[in-house]
Amino acid sequence: MSLAIGSLSEFLFGHAPRPVSCGRGLELGKGTVIPEINFTLPAMDIDEATWPEVRRLYAEMIEGVCKRAAELEAPGLLVEFETLPAMTIRPEWGREIVEILATCLHGYYEKHGLKNALRVTPNDTRDFLSPSHMRDGQYWEAMAQLFEMSAAAGADLLSIESTGGKEVCDEALRFGDLRQTIFGLAILGARDMEFLWKHLVGVCSKANIVPAGDSACAFGNTAMVLADQKFIPRVLAAVIRVASVPRSLVAYRMGAAGPSKDCAYEGPYLKAIAGVPISMEGRSSACAHLTHVGNIAQAVCDAWSNESVQQVRLLSAYAPIVSLEQLVYDCRLMNTAAAGSREDAIRLRDWLVESDAALDPQAWVLRPDVVLRIAERIATEPTPYLQTRVAARCAIEEIASAHREGRLRVSPQEIRWIAKIEREVAQLPGQESEFIDEMLATPVAEKFLPGEYGIESVASR
């Protein structure tokens, strides 16, 4: 498999080899960066009693952001609705909100010509059971139903932040155990993605809407947040980010088209390999996650997002409107630079990159040149496991050499972790089946049901 993006000079914001058209006149990756806004409820219960208020709040939020987007003449607007657990467990509720949002978006397209689309992202509730049931049971049923209902109620794109493999990764992250993390990502996660995205692509093609993408948020972003709190080393979080790429790639292999999820900071890799447009977030989503990749995350985005913000009142307006305004101005800057020339777009991209890259390994692995080098290696491997193994190895190599050359600063406490990670990566078996057998023999095996990932067969081999 060769990369969709052949050279650094083609690796730009706003341009993707495989653009996506969706919703009402919205185009991603065709030259213009679009703001993607996401919003959520303030602190409150969701139940029968509060449901009318929940509906009112979503109506208020969507009206607020659409109105401001029109006033600021946004080049388009992607709206993401991430459901909250109660709305997935009771999919009729989720559907009601989808309808409210879609109605408003249609109105703004017709009355104000605001190009737009609605991405619906049911939250993955399968881990409400422990150990999780990934392919049956009440949670899966309700979630699957919500996908269909959303498609019927006005969703233009479907996404999910799926959690397959999280059962083992959560503990692994706490113990800084890269091997176990890779097992969760590359063995369990990748298998679940295959199952899930086959299903999702089916739902979308029936409804003629866009299967967008998934996010390794439960892995990469958990690591990022832990690193930011100084609980785990940043070099580890950086390696885990890159190691999450093959898992997220599975969605595109199964037919997803993008734009990827904003919180999938692995996005640049997905764009390089699969050519899909990507949604990214950075300083724009400080309302949701503090970050050390605030600028570099923007460098090659096609949609630019705030991740998620609550409907709380700020001095000027509600927080979602404030986020929307900031996104629109960021997009204006990118689109203005790009309107000059390709060289200008590259210049802005490179400033975004250089302003962060040297300060944190998590930023370093998002450098477009680093991305292309590692992506190329990933693309040559045949399976998610082998791809993940090489991704982790390349990531730590890139970090180690940049550090040696004085181009990347690694804090003194983290230096010993470089060697530790190199060792762990070197010890990963060359055979997937060997790795699985080995892990199934450890207490890790108690954390999940192999059958839910379709791996009994391998284990009983």
Q: Which of 87, 217, 328, 348 binds ligand B12 (CB under 6 A)?
A: 217
Which of residues 82 and 266 has its CB atom nearest to ligand B12 in the complex? 82
State the minimum distance, in angstroms, from the CB of residue 317 to ligand B12: 8
Separation CA 157–CA 101 (nearest Å): 13
Which of residues 24 and 166 has its CB atom nearest to ligand B12 in the complex? 166
State the minimum distance, in angstroms, from the CB of residue 336 to ligand SF4: 27
82 belongs to the binding site for ligand B12 (CB under 6 A)? yes
414 belongs to the binding site for a second copy (CB under 8 A)? no
| Helix 137-153 × helix 190-207 angle, to 10° | 30
Residue 329 interaction partner, one of ligand B12, ligand SF4, a second copy, none, beta carbon < 5-8 Å per kind: a second copy
- The residue type found at 72 is L
Separation CA 163–CA 214 (nearest Å): 10
Which of residues 156 and 281 has its CB atom nearest to a second copy in the complex? 281
Separation CA 85–CA 80 (nearest Å): 16
Closest CA to 424 of 185, 168, 176: 176
State the minimum distance, in angstroms, from the CB of residue 156 to ligand B12: 18
For residues 283 to 322, the per-residue mask of contacts with Zn ion, x marking binding by CB under 5 A and - elsewhere, is ------------------------x---------------
Separation CA 299–CA 207 (nearest Å): 33
Q: Using CB under 5 A, which residues numbered 197 to 216 contact Zn ion? A: 215
Q: Which of 111, 206, 230, 409 binds other proteins (CB under 8 A)?
A: 230
With vertex at residue 143, the alpha carbon angle to CA 307 and CA 245, rounded to the nearest 5 degrees, is 50
Q: What is residue 83's three-state secondary structure?
A: coil
State the minimum distance, in angstroms, from the CB of residue 237 to ligand B12: 12
Q: What is residue 186's three-state secondary structure?
A: helix
State the minimum distance, in angstroms, from the CB of residue 246 to a second copy: 28
State the minimum distance, in angstroms, from the CB of residue 433 to Zn ion: 31
The backbone torsions φ and ψ at residue 238, rounded to the nearest 5 degrees and listed phi first, read: -65, -45
218 belongs to the binding site for a second copy (CB under 8 A)? no
312 belongs to the binding site for a second copy (CB under 8 A)? yes
Residue 74 interaction partner, one of ligand SF4, other proteins, a second copy, none, beta carbon < 5-8 Å per kind: none
DSSP state letter for 383: S
74 belongs to the binding site for a second copy (CB under 8 A)? no
For residues 144 to 163, the per-residue mask of contacts with ligand B12, x marking binding by CB under 6 A and - elsewhere, is -----------------x-x
Q: What is residue 165's three-state secondary structure?
A: coil
Which of residues 8 and 225 has its CB atom nearest to other proteins in the complex? 225
Separation CA 152–CA 94 (nearest Å): 12
174 belongs to the binding site for other proteins (CB under 8 A)? yes
Which of residues 72 and 207 has its CB atom nearest to other proteins in the complex? 72
Separation CA 215–CA 221 (nearest Å): 9
- Contact window for ligand B12 (CB under 6 A) among 1-9, 24-32, 223-231, 343-351: 223-231
128 belongs to the binding site for other proteins (CB under 8 A)? yes
In order of 244, 304, 332, the CA distances from 264 in angstroms are 9, 12, 23
Q: Using CB under 6 A, which residues numbered 367 to 386 contact ligand B12? A: none
Binding site residues, ligand SF4, CB under 6 A: 82, 161, 217, 221, 263, 307-308
Q: What is the 3-state secondary structure (H, E, C) of 421-438?
A: HHHHHHCCCCCHHHHHHH
State the minimum distance, in angstroms, from the CB of residue 244 to other proteins: 16
Which of residues 217 and 357 has its CB atom nearest to ligand B12 in the complex? 217
For residues 5 to 44, the per-residue mask of contacts with ligand B12, x marking binding by CB under 6 A and - elsewhere, is -----------------------------------x----
Full DSSP string of 385-401: HHHHHHHHHHHHHHHHH
Full DSSP string of 44-82: ---STTTHHHHHHHHHHHHHHHHHHHHHTT-S-EEEEEE
182 belongs to the binding site for a second copy (CB under 8 A)? no
With vertex at residue 221, the alpha carbon angle to CA 318 and CA 275, rounded to the nearest 5 degrees, is 95
Q: Which residues of 404-434 are buried (b: 16+ CB within 10 A; e: fewer)?
A: eeeebebeeebeebbebbbebbeebeeebee
Tokens representing 63 are 């009206």
With vertex at residue 67, the alpha carbon angle to CA 65 and CA 209, rounded to the nearest 5 degrees, is 60
Where on the chain is the footprint of a second copy (CB under 8 A)?
Answer: 40, 68, 72-73, 282-284, 286-292, 294-295, 308-310, 312-317, 319, 321-322, 325-326, 328-330, 332-333, 335-337, 340, 344, 347-348, 351-352, 354-356, 359
Where on the chain is the footprint of Zn ion (CB under 5 A)?
Answer: 38, 161, 215, 217, 262-263, 307
Where on the chain is the footprint of ligand B12 (CB under 6 A)?
Answer: 40, 82-85, 123-124, 161, 163, 166, 170, 217-218, 221-222, 225-226, 229, 288-289, 307-308, 315-316
